[in-house]
Structure 1
Amino acid sequence: MNALTLLQQRSSSARLIEPAPSEAELNEILIAASRAPDHARLRPWRFRLVQGEAREHLGQVFADAAAVRNPDCSDSDLQRFKAQPLRAPLILVVSAVVVEHPKVPPIEQQLAAGCAAYGALLATEALGYAGIWRTGAHAFDRTVMRGLGMADNEEIVGFLYIGSRDGGRKTLPEPVLSEFVQTWTGN
């Protein structure tokens, strides 16, 4: 698949099964992701690999955080949170480490980490795998971030669930460019 076709046809896949990318393929994905635009070469992105039994530990972190957010959380909701990381054989937790910099405001550092996450998804698809970028309450929860060992200046950009597509590719509608493209004439 050429690069333009990849960009035009990439789609998220919520149903993911084994196999996940091999270690060598994962290295290729991470190298591609690390080519994201990066003002001042801060490399603000971080990747945490969650696979195997570690997914169960992440599920417990999700459940613990949910119980802190909502002490009245039902047992069935806590079980659902525990099971979330089991929806894919591999999760890349992408985060941004935001530092004070005279020329690179925090938003640029966050956007660079977001570009790295998207680069990882594109590389995943280019290698024949699939993924989906998830956020939700867990992505903004300091309890989850602490559970993942993040520093105070680090924040989650997203959870990339990665594996092999279970079923066919989702067909997306063609974009209607006029809905979001404008020509500015200076007037």
Structure 2
Amino acid sequence: MAQASSVSPLDVLLERSSTGDLVAPVPQGEVLARILSAGLRAPDHGHLCPWRYVVIAGDARPAFAGHVVAAVARQEPDAPEKKREKRRRRFSETPMVIALGMHLRPEHKVPVMEQEMAVAAGAMNVLNALHMEGFGGVWISGRFCEDRSLLSQLGLEAPHRLAGFLLVGTPEKPERAHVRPDVGDHVAFWDGQTPVTFGADGRQR
């Protein structure tokens, strides 16, 4: 009989960190579907389902990288060539890219900010699911994500927007042990009378 693992799901989550050093393989088929399904389990006030994921992989990557570079040129005309080439390289060489589309409904009673937060929560669920399945990822964004021509390629006509991209693959190197903030600096227990204070706030002054 196989021994049960002594590592809990929470232990696995606490080990997660972002990494851009990614190689093949990438999640595919049912594994990819399950990972993206985790994104759809995020809190969603009003059940608006604002998540729109666009997967870019294989031979589609260089073509999409061209659209990204053009968007950078339009949104940041003063950006150095080195920055544009960095974008081209990342989008054409990263094994998989997942665009984080936001299908927004400004006319709805649920505030747009809450709709955006649902997309952000979904993105974090996807990053956690990638990690739990043995893959890695990093969430990137920038002014180029506001480019309407680029958004049209992703099926995101106004007022819909983009929360950025997840770069996805298998970590090329063992994940480094990142020093995390002390949880005690970011948590307070209200006593029912006096306003709380946070240790982190004092350190940032």
TM-score normalised according to structure 1 size: 0.90
C-alpha distance in 1 between matches for 2:103 and 2:75? 24
Per the TM alignment, residue 68 of structure 1 is displaced from its structure 2 partner at its CA by 1.3
Quote the residue 1:130 is aligned against.
Answer: 136
C-alpha distance in 2 between matches for 1:166 and 1:37? 32
The answer to whether structure 1 residue 161 and structure 2 residue 167 are counterparts is yes
Gaps of 5+ in 1: none
The answer to whether structure 1 residue 37 and structure 2 residue 57 are counterparts is no
Which residue type is aligned with residue 155 of structure 2?
G
CA 1:38/1:72 → structure 2, altered by over 3 Å: closer, same or farther?
A: closer
The answer to whether structure 1 residue 86 and structure 2 residue 85 are counterparts is no
Helix, strand or coil at the partner of 1:41: coil
The answer to whether structure 1 residue 105 and structure 2 residue 111 are counterparts is yes
Matches within 5 A, 1:1-187: 2-99=8-105, 100-102=107-109, 104-185=110-191, 186-187=193-194
Q: Which has the higher contact order (CA 8 A, sep 6+)?
A: 1
Per the TM alignment, residue 180 of structure 1 is displaced from its structure 2 partner at its CA by 1.6
Which residue type is aligned with residue 86 of structure 2?
R
Question: What is the number of equivalent residue pairs in this alignment?
Answer: 186
C-alpha distance in 1 between matches for 2:79 and 2:18? 29
Gaps of 5+ in 2: 1-6, 195-205
TM-score normalised according to structure 2 size: 0.83
Flag the structure with larger Rg. Answer: 2
Backbone CA RMSD of aligned residues: 1.8
